Structure 1
Amino acid sequence: MSQNYFKDILETDGLSIGYKQRRGEDLCLLSDLNLTVRRGELVCLLGPNGSGKSTLMRTIAGLQAPLKGRTLVEGVPIRERNFGEIARLLSIVLTERLQVGNLSVYHIVSLGRHPYTSWMGRLSDKDESMIKWALEQVGLWKYANKFINQLSDGERQRVMIAKALAQDTPLIMLDEPTAHLDLPNRVEIMRLLRNLAKETDKAILLSTHELDLALQAADIIWLMSKNNDLKIGAPEDLVLSGSIEDTFKNKSFSFDRKTGNFIMNYQKKQKIQLVGNDVMGFWTQRALSREGYQVTREKTDYCSIHLIEDRMEWEIHSNGEVTNCKSIQDLLLGLNTYL
């Protein structure tokens, strides 16, 4: 194994983040952080607004001075290097939408090779090869000659990821990479980043508000709270320990450890017995909960709902009467007659 091979691509050594004050004590958000991101690992940084995610990302990237400690990429202290050297260690994909409609996809991705080109910016055969490889990794080689304004938001984000790949750094950092994207593209970008971490052996660190996707895609989650606290672990460990639930605690909703979803809290109505399971039962229970009913598997004094799964129908049983419903919408309307 080469002496230049580092399993821990990113390390922070006693890092304290925050803001230096002209007068009085510095405002410290988190202190004495000893963090790592390993080769081939996707790490997601989660936390409520105001918890310090952006400050941590900027400090790690060397864009903001730490209050104490340092960041190392492959053993190299970031703050002790010039911009050219840093550009060979880490690449950054920001949240802002790209507004350069007169540039081609190939041209934008080629900018990732700037740290390796001469002062004239002439691309070598290796540069050309890296650009093609990066575009192939994100599935956009066939769009190389298209202008950026001809692409969808999801495709534009993949162009920026390709630019980071072409930069060929051991660490890639992304700030809210799924912002401005619709659901299919959010899922695709997170899936792409996970695959890239595994296939390219790079370390990928991203900040996100996409809790549900982070729970599915991340190897490790850094979970920040507003209480100057940072918890680290596999997504499942943070769910089972109650850390996710505690961090995002709110009177308006609750976190369901069984499904990994947030559930809105509604004013409770009567208890309803639900007879039946499987997919139909799950979505029926969700609709009833949304309407404020307390769903139980035990017999109640109010009424019971029986799922007729082979016909995809619902029966409301109350006071010896049975009402048939062809859809959940009909079911909810039918329940109003028993109020």
Structure 2
Amino acid sequence: MSKEAIISAKNIGIGYNAGKHRDQNMLYKNLSFNLYAGEMVCLLGANGAGKSTLLRTISKSQPILAGDIFLTDRNMTHYSEKELSQIIGLVLTDKTSTGGLLVRELVELGRYPYTGFFGQLGKYDKEVVEKSMADVGISHKANSYVAELSDGERQKVMIAKALSQECPIVLLDEPTAFLDIESRIEIMNLLHHLAMYQNKTILLSTHDIDMALLLSDRLWLLSREHGLTSGITEDIVLSGSMDHFFKGDNIIFNRNTGNFFPKRQSDRKVFIEADDTLYHWSKNMLERNDYSVAEERSDSLFILKAINCQSMSIQIAKTGAVSQFNNFEELASFLKTYNR
């Protein structure tokens, strides 16, 4: 069953308009895509790929250089600024001079499309503001100054401001940049929740590939070499698109784990006998110490048996000699000194 796109673009050009010589500043030609209600989409790409430019173009805060973008089947150029501000909320990474505002005051600015800059907030407006703060879990900071907040809390406030606009579409430029791990997970999970349970269309650029693979409904991969590739997250991963979009001489993408790894090559192979968790961390230690994992016992330099973290042993394949280890620290010491 096909879905109707809330935003669609066909063969658009994005970049920077420099008068007559547009091609000199056009980052991409012929980009096409669709955005759907109730989905969270993560835009991935290297630094300088043009992710921010694409987001700004979709939000009409930067002019499109070719082609057309349609918002619910109406050309975006036909929307007034006020109309667009009631449909699209934009959260940028730019530092804003809002530190002197209370959290509630900043979120109230999201009602500007409905009240005007100096408009008075009515009962409904205040209810929307309170709900927006509650939805992102920042109500307890409503009377705190923005300058007093952590980076993660400040990002929540900016999302609450976008929600108070009552926009069906929210675009975010690297909302988890510079956040600690707890805040990054919290923000990404919040955005996923807004898409799933409030039917918001969420499009964000990010370098948090692990969280994008876990929570995004679709991935957009943007690169100067390949243009824009989009699809359901699992289709993108299993098709091999992640491999060639982020390929490099020194990194590889593991489709089984969804992680990137430094490329390692070693003739010193070890066969591991362990349960899943111990196998993973034993393999991690081996590869960090310039060993590789053998598929067969017969191919191995030695055999590592791990019963638990306090009971491990290595049997040398040629001699049959066995060494016992009580923890990974002892194992690491052996690996670093063996045949060096």
Do the two structures share a fold, i.e. TM-score over 0.5?
yes
Distance 1:119 1:232, change over 3 A: closer
Matches for 1:217-256 after TM superposition, within 5 Å: 217-256=215-254
* Per-residue deviation, residues 280-304 of structure 1 (Å, max 9, x unmatched): 1111101111111011142245221
Tell me, which stretches of 5 or more residues in structure 2 are unaligned? none
Q: 1:165 aligns with which of 163, 170, 182?
A: 163
Matched, 1:306 2:305: yes
Question: Aligned residue for 2:66?
Answer: 68
Give the direction of change, closer, same or farther, for the CA distance of 1:84–1:69 in structure 2 (3 Å limit): same
Shift of 1:34: 3.3
Distance 1:196 1:93 in 2: 15
Moved over 6 A (4+): none
- Measured on the aligned residues, the alpha-carbon RMSD in Å equals 2.0
> For residues 116 and 264 of structure 1, what CA distance do their matches in structure 2 show?
51
Identity across aligned pairs (percent)? 38
Structure 1 contact 275–297 (Cα < 8 Å) conserved: no
Choose 158-167 or 74-83, whichever is displaced more.
Answer: 74-83
Query: Equivalents in 2 of 1:335, 1:66: separation in Å?
Result: 57
Unaligned runs of 5+ in 1: 1-5
Deviations 1:5-56 (A, max 9, x none): x952222243222344556561443333332211111111111223222221
CA–CA distance in structure 2, aligned partners of residues 111 and 30 of structure 1: 34
Of 5, 11, 35 in structure 1, the residue corresponding to residue 8 of structure 2 is 11
Residue in 1 aligned with 2:324? 324
For 2:307, the aligned partner's letter is I
The match for 2:176 is 178
**Aligned AA for 1:317?**
Q
Shift of the alpha carbon at 1:145? 1.0
Paired letter, 1:322: V
Q: Which amino acid aligns with 2:301?
A: Y
Shift of 1:108: 0.6
- Using the alignment, how far apart are the partners of 1:167 and 1:188 within structure 2? 22
1:273 to 271, 274, 281: 271
Q: 1:331 to 1:33 in 2, by over 3 A?
A: same
Deviations 1:114-136 (A, max 9, x none): 11114532101111010011011
TM-score with structure 2 setting the length: 0.91
Q: Deviations over 1:52-98 (max 9, x none)?
A: 22221111111222221222323343333332222112110011345
Contact 1:11 1:37 in 2 (8 A): yes
Equivalence for 2:206: 208
8 A contact 1:73–1:89 mirrored in 2: no
Report how many residues are paired.
333
Partner of residue 3, structure 1: none
Looking at structure 2, the residues matched to 25 and 78 of structure 1 have their Cα atoms a distance apart, in angstroms, of 21
